[in-house]
A = this chain, B = another copy of it.
Amino acid sequence: MNKQLCGNAVVGQSGGPTCAINATLAGVMREAKQHPGRIPVLYGMRNGIEGLMREELVRLTGRYDTQEQLALLEQTPAAFLGSCRKKLPDPAEDAGFYERLLAVFRKYDIRYFFYIGGNDSMDTVAKLSACLRERDYEMAVLGLPKTIDNDLAGTDHTPGFGSAAKYIAVTMQEILLDCAVYRVPAVTVVELMGRDAGWLTAASALGRGVTGLEPDLVYLPERRFDPERFLADVRGALARHPNVVVAVSEGLRFADGRYVGQGCQSGARDVFGHAYLAGTGKVLEQLVRQEIGCKVRAVELNLPQRCAAHLASGTDLSEACGVGRAAVRAALEGVSGEMMTILRAGSSPYRAEFGHTDVAAVANRTRYVDDAYINAAGNHVTDACCAYLLPLIQGEPAVTYAGGLPAYLTLPPGGESRSR
């Protein structure tokens, strides 16, 4: 690739929102602003690749990139530009789709393409990158990782995960204190996100070694779920103290592969074919009620896990922004077809560096919790797991409040479409 490629840039956000995806966007904006000679204008695509196809571009350069705007953007959850869940067609089957995309790139002289998303979004980046190699249009295409699930291959962890993990760790502390006030035997089942990977559920144990407060039992989807074993574990915990708290992943499966939450779900699947999961906690609540008979309740932490920006991890936001800046620098140096990565350059003290890896090796793959991070009984995490996770939740960014609520940067609906 021509190392002195000059032209405009476009950035998009895709997949589920997080607390840090806007920090990555801010990082792209901050770095692009430093190189006006190479990147005259940075555009944002509304609702990801879907908006790009409709030429719904927002000019970011000079409109949304003051220091004050960028600081607000970094504390705003969800996706400033909007998002989409769009699976791109196979280039061999629908070449027309890619020709239409190229027409948009040519029209706006887009030479840098940044796409912030999870493993499904990396599929988009991989396909676009592969398609460009066969066509006469030079453009740097880079994927920027983002997912609360921490399930992307090729990176030590993902931007967005640390904040979700901090929300879960802190909320679990508060729930443990809340559950401890009565002396009546009671079981509280806390259901956590993460689909088929247990990283978020593991974060519920982070009080260990810090406050000493952690759930009695932690079940990750990396181990098949045995109801008899679960009941024996819960009975054992109740024998030790009256207030038993159990953390479970939404993605738990029985030995035969069926989801535990399947009994309570619609069977709906998203466009990528992932089962829509809900209700694992409720199923286990019923099981405890029927088989043990004590007071029991299920708590699903739900959406706040991915949008509780008021409790973001300082480490996460800082790295999320850093990934955005590093992506722009890499693109300017000629890197393309890669996903940016975070490398753990040091453990004590913790230190991160940014790198990149072939996006095709990341797309559509899931990184599971390491075996060494799950205890032998399969009902809790190990100290090594806590040591891996703990640096990622450090730091409490100062949030700007106005009138009792956090201040945000938001985009007026529709108004900026087709701006140039």
With A170-B405, A390-B404, A405-B210 as given contacts, are A177 and B308 in contact (CB-CB < 8 Å)?
A: no
Query: Cβ of A76 < 8 Å from any Cβ of B?
Result: yes
Cβ–Cβ < 8 Å partners of A146 in chain B? none
Interface bits A350-391 vs B (CB < 8 Å: 1, else 0): 000000000000000000000000000000000000000010
Q: Is the interface of A mostly helix, strand, loop or mixed?
A: loop
- Contact residues of A between 2 and 36, Cβ < 8 Å to B: 13, 17
Cβ–Cβ < 8 Å partners of A66 in chain B? none
**Which one of B85, B311, B404 contacts A182 once the chains associate, using CB atoms below 8 Å?**
B85
With A175-B303, A181-B83 as given contacts, are A313 and B404 in contact (CB-CB < 8 Å)?
A: yes
CA–CA, A182 to B302, complex, Å?
18
Query: Cβ of A183 < 8 Å from any Cβ of B?
Result: yes
Query: Cβ of A342 < 8 Å from any Cβ of B?
Result: no
With A78-B180, A83-B181 as given contacts, are A304 and B175 in contact (CB-CB < 8 Å)?
A: yes
Cβ–Cβ < 8 Å partners of A174 in chain B? 77-78, 303-304, 307-310
With A178-B17, A408-B211 as given contacts, are A299 and B302 in contact (CB-CB < 8 Å)?
A: yes
Give the number of chain A interface residues (Cβ < 8 Å). 66
B404 lies within 8 A of A206 (CB): yes
**Which one of B210, B399, B402 contacts A403 once the chains associate, using CB atoms below 8 Å?**
B210
With A303-B299, A393-B404, A396-B401 as given contacts, are A310 and B181 in contact (CB-CB < 8 Å)?
A: no
**Known contacts A77-B177, A210-B405, A211-B408; 20 further A-B pairs (Cβ under 8 A):** A17-B177, A78-B178, A82-B182, A84-B182, A85-B182, A169-B405, A170-B406, A177-B307, A177-B408, A178-B303, A206-B404, A209-B403, A210-B402, A210-B403, A210-B404, A211-B407, A241-B413, A299-B303, A313-B404, A394-B404
Q: List 9 A-B contacts (CB under 8 A).
A: A79-B181, A82-B182, A82-B183, A83-B182, A170-B405, A175-B307, A211-B408, A301-B304, A393-B405
